[in-house]
Amino acid sequence: MRTAVFSDIHGNLEALGAVRQAGAERGVDCWICLGDVVGYGADPAACLGVVDELAAVNLQGNHEAAVAGVQSVEYFTPLARRATQWTQEQLSGEQQAALRDLDLTYAEPEAFFVHAEPGDPGAWHYVSDADDAAVALDTVAERLVFVGHTHVAFICAAAQDVGTNTRIVMRIEGRAVLESGTRYLVNVGSVGQPRDGDPRACFAVHDSALDSIELVRVAYDVTAARQKILAAGLPRFLADRLGQGS
């Protein structure tokens, strides 16, 4: 079973299409979305349609919560607030209601999925580094924890009994073969707006047969996505950052 876990599409239809194609080429059987399908980019409705068709599970991110009116935008940057308002104008009341009803978490016997920090999902705290990963792993029981939200992709591994003083023993990008007695937190990065210096779209593939996780990077048509943002009248910064991965 190959499961693709993806997050933070942010209205970037070009990036989402490239990720979908890359997943098909890798024989992905199941897709799980960790949220933030909307926000920042120029194709929120189209991206929601693709995710609804593609993903077996679609969770609520902070941008869905904001667009649906259940989360204050007070802590958003001015750019994010502007994008939220614009996105609300593009979506129907029915679409916004659907975003409001999305779950914050999803769990399987060995894996836990959430947009932000798993201990308090609706607070939208970030899991940004190894220290954050140790705390996050200590809040849930599953062997694997998948998160998004930071737009920075990484894999952290820790001893089975995490505890508050546990030191994360590995942090890598690329492919990790999972080890017995070890738990993993995977930040799957961002499909539509990476911020880790690599502008390519990113998602994770968990192969249960090989017991491995791979962070997959995919090139896409950044120019087309950027031009759509500008044509929509959204802030230029949201367009320019796509080519920088920052």
Residue type, 78: P
Spatial CA neighbour of 144 closest among 190, 178, 175: 178
Q: The tokens of 104 are what?
A: 């914050």
pLDDT digits (tens, 9 = 90+) for 188-240: 999 999 999 999 999 999 999 999 999 999 999 999 999 999 999 999 999 99
pLDDT digits (tens, 9 = 90+) for 104-139: 999 999 999 999 999 999 999 999 988 899 899 999
Could you give the angle at the alpha carbon of 11 between the alpha carbons of 7 and 16, nearest 5°? 60
Residue 115 near residue 36, CB atoms below 8 Å: yes
Query: Which 3-state string (H, E, C) describes 175-244?
Result: EEECCCCEEEEEEECCCCCCCCCCCCEEEEEEECCCCEEEEEEECCCHHHHHHHHHHCCCCHHHHHHHHC
Alpha-carbon gap, residue 213 to 204, rounded angstroms: 7
Alpha-carbon gap, residue 147 to 233, rounded angstroms: 31
Spatial CA neighbour of 189 closest among 180, 199, 181: 199
- What pLDDT is attached to residue 159? 73
- What pLDDT is attached to residue 227? 97
Model pTM score: 0.94
The mean pLDDT of the chain is: 93
- What pLDDT is attached to residue 160? 60
- What pLDDT is attached to residue 170? 54
Rg, the chain, Cα only? 17
* Domains by residue range for the chain, with CATH: 2-243 (3.60.21.10)
